[in-house]
Amino acid sequence: MRKYKGYIFDMDGVLYRGDTLIPGAVETLEALRRRGSRLVFVSNNSTRSREDYAERIAELGLPIAEEEIIPATYATARYLAERHAEARVFVVGALGLIKELLEAGLRLVAEPERADILVTGSDPAINYQKLSQATALLLAGKPWVTTNLDRLHPAEDRIIPGAGAVVGALQYVTRRAPDVVVGKPSGHIVEQALSKLGLAREECLIVGDIIESDILAGKNAGIDTALVLTGVVGREEVERSEIKPDYVLESITELGE
């Protein structure tokens, strides 16, 4: 396959599954770096800050620096800092998201009536009061930015709701949809990755394991796409899907060959 100057990697299902590395992942990243390729890593995770994420990546033994990682928490904070730097923000989300928003210099408020904008993400401490406060903001017409729309995430021994639980609740009761989705399949997070790579669109490839997330995000951003079969999707599913990746790879190792 073609050699690209820049690679945007999804992580879970591409580099590791749960706590287990995909065989050859470390060697492939090293081979790509030796070849002079630039790498960046994106994730729809909306509960961990970039620092939290880097710690997990280091524990797994992957040769990735904190500055190369763009989780949806960080991407959302960057998006807001660039476009709504003065906004007072009401957050329904996890500590990792709050840390990134504060780190980006945004002003968070605890009282929804003082907020200019609503930011949502997956929230392990979601409750009726937060949903009521967010509902009030949305009924008052305030803009709504969400880290992502993920419906479900695999956890140790089961499947748990993602940011979609918060989005779904608010969407149902207010009949509004988020105004901005930062994470995949939206192109926003890919744009941030491209800007980090500093390369032209046609020189970059996005590599992921979920068609409706990673591959669609690549298509939305107008870059080449590669699906790996080490994650949640099998070859039959690729054939059934209307969204066709440019490459289908057994595993990330095919990139280094």
Residues interacting with a second copy, by CB under 8 A?
123-128, 131-132, 135-136, 139, 151-152, 158-162, 164-175
User: Which of 85, 159 has the CB closer to a second copy?
Assistant: 159
Q: Could you tell me the smallest distance in angstroms from the CB atom of residue 160 to a second copy? A: 5
Least separation, in Å, of the C-beta of 87 and a second copy?
22
Give whichever of 122 and 192 is closer to a second copy, judged by the CB atom: 122
Only one residue has tokens 């899907």, namely 241
Residue among 58 and 139 whose Cβ is closer to a second copy:
139
Nearest one of 191, 197, 203, 193 to 3, comparing CA atoms? 203
**Closest by Cα among 47, 237, 52, 73 to 161:** 47
Tokens of 102: 């504060």
Judged by CB, which is closer to a second copy: 181, or 206?
Answer: 181
Please state, in angstroms and as integers, the Cα–Cα distance from residue 234 to each residue in 15, 162, 240, 241, following that order. 17, 22, 10, 11
Rounded to whole angstroms, the Cα distance separating 19 from 17 reads 6
Sign of CA dihedral 204, 205, 210, 216: positive
Question: What is the smallest separation between the CB atom of 164 and a second copy, expressed in angstroms?
Answer: 5
Of 66, 45, 44, 49, nearest to 57 by C-alpha is: 66
| Catalytic, out of 10, 123, 150, 224 | 10
Taking the least distance from each CB to a second copy, the nearer of 171 and 220 is 171
Known catalytic membership, residue 179: no
Q: Are strands 38-43 and 69-71 parallel, antiparallel or unpaired?
A: parallel
Question: Read out DSSP for 158-200?
Answer: SEEE-THHHHHHHHHHH----SEE-STTSSHHHHHHHHHHT--
For the CB of residue 162, give the shortest distance to a second copy in the complex, in Å.
Answer: 7
Distances (CA, A) of 162 to 60, 143, 157, 232: 23, 21, 15, 16
Q: Which one of the listed residues 12, 52, 209, 224 is annotated catalytic?
A: 12
Minimum CB separation of residue 155 from a second copy in Å reads 9
Catalytic residues, by residue number, are 10, 12
